[in-house]
Amino acid sequence: MRFATQNWVVSWALLLLVSCTIYSSTAMGKPENNIKTSVFLSPKFELGPGSVANKFYYDVDFPRGHIALKSFNAEVVDEAGKSVSLQETYLHHWIVIKYHQPKNVSHNNNQTGIVYLRNSGLCQENVLGQYFGLGSETRGTASDIPDPYGIEIGNPSEIPDGYEENWFINVHAIDTRGVEDRVGCFECSCDLYNVTKDEDGNPLSPSYKGGLACCPDNSQCRLEKGFKGPKRSLYMRYTVKWINWDNHVVPLKIYMLDVTDVLKVSKGMSPEHTCKIEYQVESCSKGYNSSSDCIDVRKTSLSMQTGGYVIYSVGHVHAAATASTLFAQDGGVICSSIPKYGNGNEAGNEKGYIVGMSTCYPKPGTIKIKDGETITLEIKYNNSQMHSGVMGLFYILVAEQLPH
């Protein structure tokens, strides 16, 4: 466990959940390939009413060795190990990224010599390069990869001499206790945070009404007058499932697609994707009879240089979204991932929040993206009112070959 606590009386219930390993009775070809499960905690972060934590934790606890990842799930919990409601702490997003680091370099967020190992694309450089990542929907979204497929990590032949494979986690959480405008706070409305410049000190465009630039780490959303509340210590608890790697496992490639992606073509240069990650949904024109008439539709078409068989896919959207759909070049649906909204107050069913996304598990071999095929991502939001800092992402796992 790589985090310190100021109080040794942290609940034993929480500690017992950390780094426990369970061996499943479900085998995949060989007894030694039973599914293993470990539960870990991120380092502690503290939030007071209206405050923001956008933390980057390097060299986090993670399964080691040459293995195949089968699932990754996460949520925010308190010091007693209790799930924290989105109505109190909004989980904007979390992402998990792999990197190689020189063996003689300290892990304490020292990025000297680090080589980031992104997924298979499609965005520019290291943008959206994560292996896993979700947001408020994380508790209710399936992530299990069916047999005999897996995401290969820890292959010693792919780790350079003098380096080791490590992982970092980015957690972005917003405390909305006592805030003046809860939706405005988790949509990172700039006026509620009184932010006019980005983290580099550059003035924000007047047209930029909200988004990641306006809710950085340690920022503060406006509270109701006179509201006071305690700080509390929180963690991201994440559960990883994996199996030992062997010749029975079929490797998967990860693709992250972004509806803001536009292919930039410059003379004499290779085409470059320009993913902006987030965008603003403008409110619809007056004169509509109901909010159901107000739907913002955003699309982008993307060429898949290397295709394969789709094994798993899921969308990532924010509150007010109604659908996310990935289409094949011939117009057929590869996957339609629909947000599920909560209708209660308990953690996992918070009213008005996205608490899950439907996932697609096509029968292997039935949906294939051809090499060079152009696919289309379509995202729909209800725009009866303006929404800032929304996302329209799609995560797909692709096998270049089927099992023999």
Instruction: Tell me the two tokens of residue 369.
Output: 């993206």
- Residue-level length of the chain: 404
Contact between 249 and 243 (Cβ < 8 Å): yes
Instruction: Tell me the two tokens of residue 111.
Output: 């990025």
CA 398 to the chain's CA centroid: 18
Q: Give residue 308's identity as a one-letter amino acid code.
A: G
Predicted local confidence at residue 25, as pLDDT:
35
Instruction: State in Å, rounded, how far the first CA of the chain is from the last one.
Output: 41
Contact between 85 and 182 (Cβ < 8 Å): no
Predicted local confidence at residue 122, as pLDDT:
96
Backbone angles phi and psi of 97, in degrees to 5: -130, 140
Cα-only R_g, the chain: 21
In the block, residue with structure tokens 């989980």: 91
Model pTM score: 0.90
Predicted local confidence at residue 264, as pLDDT:
87
Within the chain, all domains assigned CATH 2.60.120 are found at 255-399
- Going by C-beta distance under 8 Å and a sequence separation of 6 or more, which residues neighbour residue 157? none
Just give the CATH number of 255-399. 2.60.120
Contact between 258 and 276 (Cβ < 8 Å): yes
pLDDT by residue for the chain (404 residues), tens only, comes to 333 333 333 333 444 444 444 444 333 444 456 999 999 999 999 999 999 999 999 999 999 999 999 999 999 999 999 999 999 999 999 999 999 999 987 765 667 789 999 999 999 999 999 999 999 999 999 999 999 999 999 999 999 999 999 999 999 999 999 999 999 999 999 999 999 999 889 999 999 999 999 999 999 999 999 999 999 999 999 999 999 999 999 999 999 999 999 988 877 777 899 999 999 999 997 544 455 679 999 999 999 999 999 999 999 999 999 999 999 999 999 999 999 999 999 999 999 999 999 999 999 999 999 999 999 999 999 999 999 999 999 999 999 999 98
Predicted local confidence at residue 21, as pLDDT:
45
Separation CA 139–CA 73 (nearest Å): 7
Predicted local confidence at residue 129, as pLDDT:
98
Predicted local confidence at residue 285, as pLDDT:
73
Nearest CA to 318 among 210, 214, 213? 210
Predicted local confidence at residue 31, as pLDDT:
41
Positive or negative, the CA dihedral 143, 146, 147, 151 is negative
In the block, residue with structure tokens 């290969």: 152
